[in-house]
A = this chain, B = another copy of it.
Amino acid sequence: MWSAMAEGDRPLRADAERNRRRLLDAARVLFSERGLEVGVAEIAQRAKVGRGTLFRNFATKEDLIAAVVVDRMADASARGRELLEGEDPTEALFEFLSDLVGRQQLDRALIQAVADEFLANPEIRAANDELVAVLDELLLHAQDAGGVRRDVGALDVLMLFKGVCEAMRSFQHLDPNVAERHLDLVRSALAPREHEQPLRGRIPTLDDLEPARAR
């Protein structure tokens, strides 16, 4: 019985899943190439699905953008999980950060577009929490391997990461490698050191963000 139902459902679900995937991919590519003003009709056309299918999947363009954000975050988390399997935990952490920086050019516009509902949207929030959790694991592994100082948490690393992204935007005309140079400085900031003053404040956690999230 279960088997019969599953067989009956599978083609339909697989089809629906494929259409959704195509729409997300088309949206990502078009947004990346030409910005968020690309119309949904063109996205449906490129995805080779009808407008009815588009609207069944994403009632508004905002829904589509939010889904692309969730998809991009899930993709980054998956990359982080792959890196967790690598041999050198410290390299894995910095490769993850470098990968995140590379994604920013598109992601920034997307995330700005959903900024108002960012943490109020449960799917974005879950994808964001998963990304922080992956970063947390990569960081712990790197700390256990002695490659990163003990007195920092994932949100400290994210803070530094946001700095790299901002510097990249401000100084991108300076040198295409400005992000790499800044990531090297971040790496220095995070390197374990003897005889160092402790950082002011304490290690921030996701719970500390709750007041901001509740706004």
Residues of A within 8 A of B (CB): 152, 155-156, 159-160, 162-167, 170-171, 173-175, 177-178, 180-182, 184-186, 188-191, 193, 196-197, 199-201, 204, 208-209, 211-212, 215
Contact = CB atoms under 8 A, between A and B. Distances in A.
B182 A163 contact: yes
A162 B179 CA distance: 13
Given A171-B209, A174-B212, A188-B190, 12 more contacts: A159-B171, A160-B163, A160-B185, A162-B163, A163-B163, A173-B212, A178-B204, A180-B201, A184-B200, A188-B193, A189-B189, A193-B193
Contacts of A167: 159-160, 162-163
Contacts of A200: 177, 180-181, 184
B173 A211 contact: yes
Q: How many copies does the complex hold?
A: 2
A159 B178 contact: yes
Contact of A184 (B175, B193, B197): B197
A122 to B, nearest CB: 20
B177 A155 contact: no
A136 to B, nearest CB: 16
Q: Of residues A167, A185, A204, which shows the largest number of chain B Cβ atoms within 10 Å of its Cβ?
A: A185
A196 B191 CA distance: 10
A211 to B, nearest CB: 6
A115 to B, nearest CB: 11
